[in-house]
């Protein structure tokens, strides 16, 4: 989502809470790059980084895909409370976006297609 928001001029970055995502297989990274490139999103320098306290401090808004992830962020970083929302909360919808790790090229392409629509709606709210 961050890469799509950046395409619209928003200063956004993506972080994970787990080191497991830093260990994505080369095939998974290739699937992500191939699917996003079809939509004009360049992820040639893509790498997953873990969320840090500095990220919390420097952010005005933190968006998570799922409420369980939001809760984990607040538990690990209490200063994030009031800054972190699910995308669904921001949009006033009951929306959860499932983890895409291990998904197919077609599933990533559908996700990226949806990200463009969701990103436009996010931008209208921030």
Q: Tell me the C-alpha distance between 87 and 73, whole Å.
A: 14
Whether the model clears a pTM of 0.85, i.e. scores above it, the answer is: no
How many CA within 13 A on the CB side of residue 20? Answer: 5
Q: What is the C-alpha to C-alpha distance for residues 98 and 82, in angstroms, rounded to an integer?
A: 23
* pLDDT tens track for 72-121: 999 999 999 999 999 999 999 988 887 777 777 788 788 878 888 888 88
| Domains along the chain with CATH numbers | 2-125 (3.40.50.2300)
């Amino acid at each position: 989502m961050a890469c799509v928001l950046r395409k619209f001029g928003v200063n956004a970055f993506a972080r994970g809470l787990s080191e497991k995502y830093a260990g994505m297989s080369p095939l998974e990274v290739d699937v992500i790059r191939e699917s996003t490139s079809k939509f004009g999103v360049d992820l040639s320098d893509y790498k997953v980084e873990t969320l840090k306290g500095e990220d919390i401090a420097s952010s005005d808004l933190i968006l998570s895909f799922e409420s369980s992830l939001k809760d984990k962020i607040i538990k690990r970083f209490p200063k994030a409370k009031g800054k972190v929302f699910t995308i669904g909360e921001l949009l006033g919808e009951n929306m959860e976006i499932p983890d895409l790790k291990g998904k197919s090229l077609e599933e990533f392409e559908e996700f990226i297609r949806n990200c463009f629509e969701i990103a436009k709606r996010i931008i209208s709210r921030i």
